[in-house]
Structure 1
Amino acid sequence: MRRHELSDAEWELIQPLLPRPVLGRPRLDDRMILNGIVWKFCTGVAWPDVPERYGSWASLPTRFRRWAANGTFERMLQAAQANADAAGDIEWVVSVDSSIVRAHQHAAGAGKRGLRNPALGRSRGGLTSKIYLACDGSGRPLAFALTGGNTNDCTQFTTVMDAIRVPCLGLGRPRTRPDHVIGDKGYSSKAIRNWLRRRSIAHTIPERSDQAANRARRGRLGGRPPAFDRGIYKRRNVVERCFNWLKQWRGIATRYEKTAQSYHAAVTLASLLMWV
C-alpha cells in the first residue's frame, strides 16, 4: 500500500458499498480506480498527472463523474453512517460551521456550459466556495452543503440540517433530528432559534453583542436572554477539527473542479473515509 491509498481494512468496508455492473464487459478494478481518485484529490494534481499504476488517466474522471452523477458516493456515505449508528457509534451532539475554500482559476467557466449552480462566488480574494458542515460529537461529517463564498452562514443553516439523514439498517425511518445543536454567533438569529424550538431540538448558540444591546435597550419588551451553556459550547471545536482534516486533501482545500457536483462528490469521498 502506497501513500494516499486505501488500506485493506478500509477496502473491506468500502467494497460492498460500490455498485456492481450487471451487463457489459468487465470494468477496470474498482480498488485501483478508487485509489487513483483518492490519490488525485489528496495531492490536488490534474487528472492527466495521476500515476500510470492506476490505469489510464482518462478512466479515472469518467468513473468518478459517473459515480458522482448517480449518487454512488452519497449512498456509500449514508451506508457507512448507518453502520455506525446501528453500533451506537454516533454521538448526536451536532456542531455546525462553515469554511471558505479558494477556487483555482481552472474551476471557472462552468457557467458557460449551461450549468446554473457552480457554487462559486466572487469576493476580494477572487473566486471562492463555501462548505457548510454539520458533524457529530466525534467530529465526523453528517451532512454538508455548498454555495458561493459570498453567501451568509445563517441562510444555509436549515439546508444543512435538513440534509442530515442517517438510514436505519432495520425497519424504521432515517434519523434526521439531533439531540443537541452547537453553533457560533453566525447562527444567532431569531429564525434559527424558532426553527430549532419547533422541532424540540436543544441548542447552544451565543448571542451577538448587538442583539444583546438591542434587547437591553428595549427593557422588559426585549425579553429574556437565550440560554447558553459554556461547558457545552466548548465542544464546538470538533467541527473545526473536522474541517482541518478535510482540508488535508489538497484537492478540497483548493477547489479545482468546475462543477459543484464534482466538488461535492470529492468532499463526500473524503467524508466517507472519515467514517470507515
Structure 2
Amino acid sequence: MRRRHRHPGGPGRRRGGVRPEKKVDDEPGDHALGRSRGGYGTKVHLVSDGRGVPLAAVVTPGQRHESTQFEAVLGRVRLRGRRGRPRCRPVLLAGDKGYSYPRIRRWLARHGVKAVIPRRKDQSPDDGRVRFDEQMYRRRSVVEQCVGWLKECRAVATRFDKLAVNYLATVQWAMVQRYLRLLTA
C-alpha cells in the first residue's frame, strides 16, 4: 500500500483539526456573548424615534448593563436634514429606570436634551427642580413596540451568527427591512 501523504488528514491539515481563528476588525474578544439572567446571549441596545423607526443599534454581551452603552449608541445616530450637517441629538429622551444615573442625566443636560426618565427607589425623590413628565413617558411604548417587532425577526431573535459584527449586520438588515416596510405602507 502506497500513500500519497504522510498524514491521513490530507495536505496542509494541522494535527487535532483546530484551525486558527481569522482576525476580524471591530470584533470583540467575547463575540458579544455572555451570561445574564435569561441565560447565554447578546443584548441589543437600540435607539428609535417617536414613531418607532429604529435609528441605531449596538450589541454587547448579555451581562453588560444598558447604561454603559448609552453614549456609544447615541453617538451612532445621524439624522439627515435638507441642509447643513446631520443632527445627532434628540430634543428629549425617554428611558426606563435602568438609565436613571447621575452620569447620564449630566450628559443629557450638557447636550441640551430633556430627560424623561423615572427615578429609581434608591435615589432621592423628586425635589421640585426636575419634574417627571408622565405623558411623555407613556409614549415610550412606541420604542417597546419597535423592540418587539425586532424580536419577531427570526435571525435576530435566535442568534445564529458566531461573530458579533455579523450579528450586528443582521440587526441592521432587519432595521432596513423596517424602513422599507414603513415607506411602502
| Length-normalised TM-score, structure 2 | 0.78
1:197 aligned to 2:101? no
Counterpart residue number, 1:25 = none
Q: Which runs of 5+ in 2 are unaligned?
A: 1-19, 181-185
Which stretches of structure 1, 4 residues or longer, exceed 2 Å deviation after superposition?
111-116, 122-127, 223-226
Secondary structure at the counterpart of residue 41 of structure 2: strand
Aligned match of 2:12: none
Offset, 1:158: 1.1
Relative contact order (C-alpha < 8 Å, sep 6+): which is higher?
1
Task: Work out whether 1:260 is the aligned partner of 2:164.
Answer: yes
Which residue matches 1:244? 148
Of the three residues 158, 167, 186, the one matched with 2:71 is: 158
What corresponds to 1:230 in structure 2? 134
Total equivalences in the alignment:
157
- 1:239-266 superposed Cα distances (whole Å, 9 cap, x missing partner): 1100111111111001110111111111
Q: What letter is aligned with 2:123?
A: Q
Q: CA RMSD in A?
A: 2.1
Residue of structure 2 in register with 1:185 after alignment: 97
**1:172 Cα shift?**
1.2
Shift of 1:203: 1.6
Higher helix share: 1
Distance 1:125 1:180, change over 3 A: closer
Gaps of 5+ in 1: 1-110, 216-222
1:131 corresponds in structure 2 to 44
**Partners of 1:135 and 1:142 within 8 A in 2:** yes
Paired residue secondary structure (1:255): coil
TM-score (norm 1): 0.53
Which amino acid in the other structure matches residue 153 of structure 1?
E
1:212 aligned onto 2:127: no
